[in-house]
Amino acid sequence: MRSAKYLKFVAFAVFAVMVLVAAVPFWLNRSVNVLLAQARAELLAQQRLDAILASVRDAETAQRGFVITGNDTFLEPYERTRRMLPSALHDAKEKARTDAERTTVWRISRLVDLKLAELEETILLRRRAGFEATERVVSSLRGKQYMDELRQLVAAEDARGKARRDALRADLLARSGRSFTVSVAATACNILALGVLLLVVMRMLRERRAIAAQLETQAGQLAEAVALTSRRNRELKLVAELLRAVEAVPAVVDAGPVIARFMPKLLPGVAGTLFLLRDDDDNMLDRQAQWGRPSDQPWAIDIDACWGLRHGARYKTAGYGDPACAHYREPSDDAAARLCIPLVTHDELVGMVHLEGLTAGSMQEEQERLAVTVAEQLALALGNARLRESLRRQSVLDPLTGLFNRRHFDAALKRELARARRKNVPVSLVLVDIDHFKDVNDGFGHAVGDAVLRTIAQQLRLGIREGDIACRYGGEEMVLLLPECTAADAGARAEAIRVALAAITPNAEGEGPERITASFGVAAYPVHAQDAEALFWAADKALYRAKQHGRNRVVTGV
């Protein structure tokens, strides 16, 4: 009787441990889903505020273009912003989750209203009173103060959002560690309980041997559950490390080596190839990385070359009887399966993972499940990385010409002047203005004018050194910043560019002027000016003299 009671107690202990081990993965999965949902919500809130700030910047850029040129074409981004911002602000207010976030959104909304009112006032003043009166209003820096405060609010909210996401990641790793500890402790307790149970069973009568066999079966199931839990915990930890590493890369193309380093740990013995979508072609994917011992894969494939990409879902081939993708250069044998998994986030394709050598049998389903889970998380991380990279490019590049924009030029000029003062070296500035560009737009249309601007921008890039900076300052006016270059050398370089411009066809894609020329104004530090503003105006005066003397010439400041 005493042994029976002891046996019941030990059996109860084993059952409790099994329940604990079985509950760990469910608890961990629920916790992970909650944390991921919170992280996604934080990221979406950040993206909404960044989009509002980008729209206001676009409107401000459009206003500046109109103030400088008086051309209503520049106001298209401004009008688009006025139409889109109310709904974006309303959406941000509706989806704010905390009082602090609602307060920040309301402050941003107020600043946006003030900024748009200031932009509208400036545009009306430009139309009524001309450029000089508008310049005095713009010089009051009221609009700049609105933008600075708006940027500070968005940046502060971005920083708080990043801190909250970092806290969520840390919480996720901590919970994973605790789950692993609980699993190990439960396993140890279970082994101890089983040992005691076996000693009791050995002293019991033969009638109890059936009970012992049943308990052994339960022990085997428990061991499998523990092994599965340990494996899932390891997988979750590796996936979290992979996503953290992908988020840290500066560009999407740099994620290839990171992914190639982690995938063999997640899927041992499985080879693979990573393809990423090209930035300039929605139908072509480039091979970025490989791991294991993959078959020979092409450097680039189009969407029609892969059944998975065609249908937007994973596609598996297990032998000669299955239709093969066009990017297979070697036939698949009957034992090893291949799997193509498109990387899709927010209904947008970012790439594709091709896996080879999946284990036959029941392990293949487990490998496929893990591969799909990793691919879903990778798609989200790569999509976020591509978005961050796109925002960085948009902040410094002119979208039409590909040259740096005025914002980048202002910062670069101050930086190069400071470096020139430290090293006691010259810095030259070359202002470039396209001759009679208004006639091109009026005579051939803005599409041809844009093509001419792109051609001239390409010539400027070809005519400067690697360390020089070419910017589109506004309209048809461009500027070259030449570090460690004297005025004489800058004039010679400008002359070479002038000659090259006059000799090319401005619009090789179709109709347009047969020839186009440009005027150049050159000034250098410290010969013509000592600070950034004076240096720019010295170059501008030289450019004005070039226009006065008949255009299509290079004039150096005096």
Place of tokens 């890039």: 461
Name the residue type at position 212: A
Q: What is the spatial distance between Cα 341 and Cα 355, in angstroms, rounded to a whole number?
A: 8
Q: Using one digit for the tens of pLDDT, what is the confidence trace for 254-279?
A: 788 888 888 888 888 888 889 988 87
Percentage above 70 pLDDT, the chain: 86
Given this model, what pLDDT does residue 168 score?
A: 74
Given this model, what pLDDT does residue 518 score?
A: 92
Domains annotated on the chain, with CATH:
2-176 (1.20.120.1730), 249-388 (3.30.450.40), 406-556 (3.30.70.270)
Mean pLDDT of 330-334: 54
Q: Would you name the residues annotated as active-site residues?
A: 476
Are 526 and 426 in contact by the 8 Å Cβ rule? The answer is yes
Q: Is the predicted pLDDT of residue 325 greater than 60, yes or no?
A: yes
Burial readout 126-153 (b: 16 or more C-beta within 10 A, e: otherwise): beeeeeeebeebbeeeebeebbebbeeb
Comparing 520 with 406, the larger pLDDT belongs to 520
Pairing of strands 337-345, 315-317: antiparallel
Q: Using one digit for the tens of pLDDT, what is the confidence trace for 116-135?
A: 877 777 788 778 777 776 77
The pLDDT-based confidence of 334 (bands split at 50, 70, 90) is very low
Are 174 and 27 in contact by the 8 Å Cβ rule? The answer is no
Given this model, what pLDDT does residue 480 score?
A: 95
Mean pLDDT of 87-100: 78
Are 291 and 263 in contact by the 8 Å Cβ rule? The answer is yes
Are 435 and 546 in contact by the 8 Å Cβ rule? The answer is no
